[in-house]
């Protein structure tokens, strides 16, 4: 079947309120429809083929440049979010391709070495600072010319942002939180920071102590809520357990003193790299020659200018952990023993 015929089949099979693909989709730059792929299938392919998504394999989820191959990276996290999100979207009749595209792309705006990169980059972007969700949609993924629904889901997957405009985006927001609370705790146990018995009874009594049991409980809670209310969400007591799980992770994983000390090193390293490249914008030709960057064709921006600084942020934010750490030694003169480490 061609795309138009497949759109008709989807229209009949999707639930009321699900996002229907139409033609080439709504994009910043108008395109011709694909003869076989729906607009969201096209987005999904573009995300999977993109450099920003592939570089997630070298960006940490929690532990900087992990030596243990079983600790999550941003890519494995994104894949797991997509697994959970599709597991919710499919039985309730939402658009699976849009859901998966949002889920796989949702963290493409993250810099190297974890969430500390947002604090590192924010002073250089005066209009709202650096938010990985917004930056991912508006800067990192902009060259892919994705549909507005896909970009909206990426931009608003974070809970500090407005709710996504589609139910598929809402599913991804829930799936992201479910994934990272369960997986980050599991990684902390594997890294020896916590023991499985450290999970509070108030959480474990509701969702269990095994990761598979936790994921299943949270997913079923969302499906039950959609069945009962026709809205994407999670009812008590499971939502309370999810929040308590997240609060526990923040206190004992993300914000523990050792992690904060490493975050300070991350911030110092990344700011040093931004300033190094902002003072040498001619090294960023790929960004300012019109191929990828906002400046268009022409000469490099002036050294130290705001335009050069924003290009430097774009360059450094795309780096993998190990590449950024290597440049810290090569360009900034850091001693290897002083570099941020995954602890």
Strand, coil or helix: 60: strand
Q: Rounded to 5 degrees, what are φ and ψ at 296?
A: 80, 180
Tell which residue, 293, 296, 298, has the closest CA to residue 277.
Answer: 293
24: in domain: no
Is 229 buried (19+), middle (13-18) or exposed (0-12) by CB count in 10 A? Answer: exposed
199: in domain: yes
Q: Rounded to 5 degrees, what are φ and ψ at 317?
A: -65, -25
Query: Can you give the residue range of the structural domain that contains 293?
Result: 258-338
Q: Rounded to 5 degrees, what are φ and ψ at 157?
A: -75, -25
What mean pLDDT do residues 185-205 have? 96
pLDDT in tens, 119-166: 999 999 988 899 999 999 999 999 999 999 999 999 999 999 999 999
Structure confidence at residue 67 (pLDDT):
76
What mean pLDDT do residues 295-321 have? 88
Structure confidence at residue 132 (pLDDT):
97
Cα separation, 264 vs 341, whole angstroms: 11
172: in domain: yes
38: in domain: no
| Residues 155, 301 share a domain | no
pLDDT in tens, 9-30: 999 999 999 999 999 999 999 9
pLDDT in tens, 176-187: 999 999 999 999
Q: Structure pTM?
A: 0.95
What does the chain come to in residues? Answer: 343
| Residues 241, 176 share a domain | yes
Structure confidence at residue 298 (pLDDT):
63
107: in domain: yes
Q: Rounded to 5 degrees, what are φ and ψ at 135?
A: -65, -40
pLDDT in tens, 32-91: 999 999 999 999 999 999 999 999 999 999 988 777 888 999 999 999 999 999 999 999
Q: Into how many domains does the chain fold?
A: 2
Cα separation, 26 vs 7, whole angstroms: 15
| Residues 174, 110 share a domain | yes
Structure confidence at residue 343 (pLDDT):
64
CB 69 within 8 A of CB 76: no
Structure confidence at residue 249 (pLDDT):
97
What mean pLDDT do residues 198-218 have? 97
| Residues 170, 124 share a domain | yes
| Residues 243, 276 share a domain | no
Cα separation, 267 vs 112, whole angstroms: 10
59: in domain: yes
What mean pLDDT do residues 184-206 have? 96
What mean pLDDT do residues 290-318 have? 80
| Residues 293, 314 share a domain | yes
pLDDT > 70? residue 342: yes
| Residues 246, 266 share a domain | no
pLDDT > 50? residue 222: yes
Computed over its alpha carbons, how large is the radius of gyration of the chain?
21
Tell which residue, 104, 47, 97, 102, has the closest CA to residue 75.
Answer: 104
Cα separation, 75 vs 84, whole angstroms: 14
| Residues 314, 223 share a domain | no
State the DSSP code for 73.
B
Structure confidence at residue 305 (pLDDT):
94
33: in domain: no
pLDDT in tens, 250-303: 999 999 999 999 999 999 999 999 999 999 998 887 787 654 445 555 678 899
| Residues 200, 284 share a domain | no
Cα separation, 220 vs 327, whole angstroms: 45
């Amino acid at each position: 079947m061609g795309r138009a015929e497949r759109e008709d089949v989807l229209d009949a099979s999707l639930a009321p309120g699900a996002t229907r693909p139409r033609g080439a989709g709504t994009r910043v730059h108008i395109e011709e429809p694909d003869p076989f792929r729906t607009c969201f299938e096209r987005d999904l392919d573009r995300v999977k083929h993109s450099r920003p998504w592939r570089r997630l394999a070298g960006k940490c989820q929690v532990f900087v440049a992990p030596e243990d191959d079983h600790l999550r990276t941003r890519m494995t996290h994104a894949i797991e979010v997509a697994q959970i999100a599709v597991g919710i979207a499919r039985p309730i009749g939402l658009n699976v391709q849009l859901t998966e595209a949002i889920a796989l792309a949702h963290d493409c705006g993250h810099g190297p070495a974890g969430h500390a990169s947002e604090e590192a980059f924010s002073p250089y972007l005066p209009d709202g600072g650096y938010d990985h969700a917004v930056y991912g949609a508006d800067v990192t993924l902009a060259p892919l010319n994705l549909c507005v629904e896909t970009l909206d889901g990426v931009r608003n997957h974070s809970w500090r942002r407005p709710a996504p405009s589609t139910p598929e985006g809402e599913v991804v927001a829930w799936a992201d939180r479910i994934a990272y609370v369960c997986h980050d705790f599991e990684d902390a146990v594997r890294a020896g920071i916590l023991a499985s018995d450290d999970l509070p009874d108030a959480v474990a009594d509701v969702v269990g102590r095994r990761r598979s049991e936790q994921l299943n409980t949270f997913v079923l809670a969302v499906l039950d809520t959609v069945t009962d209310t026709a809205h994407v969400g999670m009812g008590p007591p499971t939502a309370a357990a999810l929040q308590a799980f997240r609060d526990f992770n923040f206190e004992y994983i993300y914000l523990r003193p050792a992690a904060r000390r490493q975050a300070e090193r991350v911030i110092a390293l990344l700011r040093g790299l931004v300033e190094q490249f902002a003072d040498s914008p001619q090294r960023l030709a790929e960004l300012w020659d019109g191929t990828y960057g906002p400046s268009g064709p022409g000469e490099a921006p002036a050294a130290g200018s705001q335009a050069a600084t924003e290009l430097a942020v774009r360059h450094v934010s795309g780096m993998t952990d190990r590449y950024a750490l290597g440049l810290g030694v090569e360009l900034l003169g850091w001693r290897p023993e002083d570099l941020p480490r995954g602890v």
